[in-house]
Amino acid sequence: MLAIKKQALASASRVLLRTGVLSGLATGAARAYHSKLYKSSDEAIEGVKSGNTLLIGGFGLCGIPENLLKAIARRKDIQQLTAVSNNAGTADYGLGTLLQSRQIKRMVSSYVGENKEFSRQYLGGELEVELLPQGTIAERVRSGGAGIPAFYTLTGVGTQVETGGIPIKYNKEGEVVIASEPRETKVFNGRKYLMEEGIVGDFALVKAWKGDELGNLVFKYAASNFNAPMATAGKITIAEVEEIVPVGELKPNEIHISGIHVHRILKGETYEKRIEKLTLRRSAEEESELPEAMKQRIHIIKRAAREFQDGMYVNLGIGMPVLASNYIDPSITVHLQSENGILGMGPFPTAEEVDADLVNAGKESVTVLPGGTCFSSDVSFGMIRGNRLDMTILGGMQVSSRGDLSNWMVPRKMVKGMGGAMDLVSAPKSRVVVTMTHTSKDGSPKILQENTLPLTGVQCVDRIITDKCVFDVIPNKGLLLRELSYGQTVDSIRASTGCSFEVASDVAETY
């Protein structure tokens, strides 16, 4: 702590006193101000050292502090870092470059995703990874920045987040040598909650669209994501921006992060602004030419799109569920929420509509409909935990007969991370629909009496939609077969399902 204070004082002693005019204020008076502007990313990271905890803004590759991360990568003397970030970019860009250079000791993340190097180092025992629900990370960082030492949440109740034992570090033999600790719990209004502690970083590295020499920041579209909460929770916050504007040009009601949180600011040297998954809108003709596996997914999701009702607020999970945005009945209005900070999400863009600052939770390029809004990740998960959503559609690996869901890890083999799923299924008033293939590639059932994989949520699923049928989960009773896909029979469903179920009297082929 003392060392960090000394760094902050040293930084303050370097600040230049400049005179500027803050236009647009009621007084119209001139004002002297201290410039926080740095000339380069190399200069801006002065004081970062081995063993520091870094809070890294961005979501996938959207809104990442590209130049500051490159500057850290150039400093091979900086080692043994703890990086708090929703994920780790890609294997060859963003935070992934610091994994390649072995400068990170521990990642605190919610999602490993498709970063094969991240997964390889974790499963191979080379990297510590503390996996947390996405909304929990956002709120822990927001709380840390707000001086709140801890808070209680429903997210993770009944899972290994509560009981502990999630692998943090493997040895080379694949044995767990460090595991997560159990959480303290408390009951409020008859429901169990977990206690989570606030997170504060030695440094926060964030990226904004525009900023001024006072450190005021403005984000563009969905690039607010984790940048906004991270900016408030660094003992020293360093912001890189695409454009430095004169003090006073940003109107007070336009500023997303006040300069009080930002200690250093710079104009980024270069920006690639890569899009992790460039995804374009398909025509009906293009869909007809897709591989059979994709046609199967579209078959499932077209049925799932029938769940939408006029006026609903709905979250679509990554993977198959996000496809549903392309099949909404045009006669109704559905407000799609993406947990990385979009409400009013539209379909995939045309080539002309692509914007690197507009991606969904699956890091795919998207559009925003008229009337849509963008906001930070902590605000987004406040909507989710606050029961503002009517429904969430998620993918699944397994669902039990009582509605338990598993969709984030196969121990020692595959780890995606829980992402935002645990938060989404913990909202008690939001209907949960799971979309998935009925069986695994080897033909084994995914709908079981009891889950064998780590749980995402307990008794949280309301409906299951597969390529073969639709099940409803009836509380305290089990599964009820509601609909059949064309060509399926009750007997074929029994043969491919790993638990017993009841059959609705009006079951029929409907999709």
CB 313, CB 390: distance < 8 Å: yes
Q: How many CB atoms lie within 10 A of CB 324?
A: 26
DSSP string, 187-254: EETTEEEEEEE---EEEEEEEEEEE-TT--EE--GGGGBTHHHHHHSEEEEEEEEEEE--TTSS-GGG
C-alpha distances (whole Å) from 475 to each of 204, 427, 458, 488 are 45, 17, 12, 26
Using DSSP's 3-state secondary structure scheme, residue 176 falls into strand
- Say which of 66, 196, 307, 339 is annotated catalytic: 339
289 flagged as catalytic: no
Q: Taken in order 35, 41, 43, 48, is the CA torsion positive or negative?
A: positive
Q: Which of 504, 400, 489, 496 is nearest to 452 (CA)?
A: 400
Tokens of 378: 């902590």
Query: Who contacts 140 (Cβ-Cβ below 8 Å, separation ≥6)?
Result: 132, 196, 197, 198, 199
Backbone dihedral angles phi then psi of residue 322, each to the nearest 5 degrees: -65, -20
Query: Who contacts 284 (Cβ-Cβ below 8 Å, separation ≥6)?
Result: none
- CA dist., res. 490 & res. 422, Å (int): 32
Q: Which of 205, 159, 195 is nearest to 406 (CA)?
A: 159
Using DSSP bridges, classify how beta strands 264-267 and 234-244 pair: parallel, antiparallel or unpaired. parallel
Q: Which of 264, 250, 261, 263 is nearest to 20 (CA)?
A: 250
Residue 56 β-bridge partners: 205
Element (H, E) at 33: strand 30-35
Catalytic residues: 339
